[in-house]
Structure 1
Amino acid sequence: MNYFRCVAAITVLLGAAPLWATSVVLDQIGDELIYDPSSEMSPSVSQVFTDFPDFSSIALDDFAVAASELRLESIEALVRAGNGFSSFSLVEEFQLSIFTGSSPDGSTLEGDVANLLFDPGDFSVTVTQIGSTDVALISLSTNIVLPSAGSYSVGLASVASNSGAGTFYVLNNGQSSPGLPGNSDGIFLNPDQGFGGDAVTGTNFDFAYRVTATAVPEPAGGSLLAVGLLGLVFHRRMPKGRRPAVGTGSTS
């Protein structure tokens, strides 16, 4: 391998490194197959009710990031249902909310960092039955850039009518998933206080969310990648007779 090829290869590797720096910044799901819903400390409604808006609420949990810019690649949540529920297909949409900080003021379910609606086909639902309870792992692909290091809160709410679909909950790790990371500070947000409590209610458990992120490449990293690719193209296209000779000097 000659000089130009070595430089191009090293430059590509250096420039591409940030593109693959994927990490899990929050995992309070662990192995969903070991969940026992009967051992939850308390089920928490996380639903935008299309027929009873005062009860619309969301289960939030916080996570911290150290990098200056991260792109959230995927959000997952464990969801179960009740009160007349018959199928997860009755969920009209999922609302994803990302808030700055770990203590939203409770005035809205819409996150200040991101507030997105996912239609059927834009999310996957993997249903497993634990005992007599259907539990779904909801998976969303996202492209949300967090602007700075610090604390954020994530929440996922089903959008559905109670009369037509029932009530949907985000599981908490309670007593059934010991050892999962977290600090037992999930938040129940119900801005219109239809459930009779405060708009913001603290809990003593963590909600079952998983958040995966990728580092946003620095501009210098992108430049290195471009230079490296150009170097490879230059090497491939240069006629053999014009390529710099290596080690051709005579010795005496």
Structure 2
Amino acid sequence: MDPVHPGNPKPSFFRDLFTGIGYLVRGIGWTARRPGQWLFGLIPALIVLVVYVAALTALAFNLDDLASWVTPFADGWSSGARDTARVVAGIAIFGAALFVAILLFTALTLLVGDPFYEKIAERVEDSAGGAPPEPDVPLGVQIVRAIRDGLLLGVIALAFGLVFFVCGFLPVVGQTVVPVVAAFVSGWFLTAELTSIALERRGLLRRERFARLRANRGLTLGFGVATFVVFLIPLGAVVAMPGAVAGATLLARERLAGPYR
């Protein structure tokens, strides 16, 4: 039985995986039919993008120095072996930074654009039959919760980024298995972030939200990994962000919290 909705049979992981992908497609479709909402949702994403471009550009220009700094053990190696070790180190550093950047991009964009995405989520719910009332929680408490959750996510992202950076040095595995695992981890947290707006509106705090995501792993990973892949496309995170919020709202409404009545 489904532990979140005891009256339902246990869902099929692979069926839910594709259903989760479908929610991203539905969300992008929702914004495509409403270009005004899409443009409205681009504003905070563009603000964060400017900061990210500056940071990642600075990292790219200093990648050689950083790769040399983290591989002092290779100083005495032959030039070929030393260069190979530092190329791998550079790829691992940039890959770990990109992993953290994608996770934090969503968190920062949601934080910066909270009024924008709250409004989009509300309009998505209205178009699907009606939004639940705002929770009776003071604005200050909501802000503190958002900052606390964002900081927690940042710590977790940095911890995973460090692990993936170290594992990136493993021959073959570091260039094949590790990126796949990173995509699944990123996808899970992206879904957690993007569904938080609709689930918090229903009074569900972080612990309960995460419990529902774990109980619906197929949906969570399908939606999140698809979003992660789209976000890897140049400017994909900016262009698809409003649609991802819309899709996550539909996912939360219809599957994670049940339809609002």
TM-score (norm 2): 0.24
Whichever structure has more strand as a proportion of its residues is 1
TM-score (norm 1): 0.24
Whichever structure has more helix as a proportion of its residues is 2
Larger Rg computed on CA atoms: 1
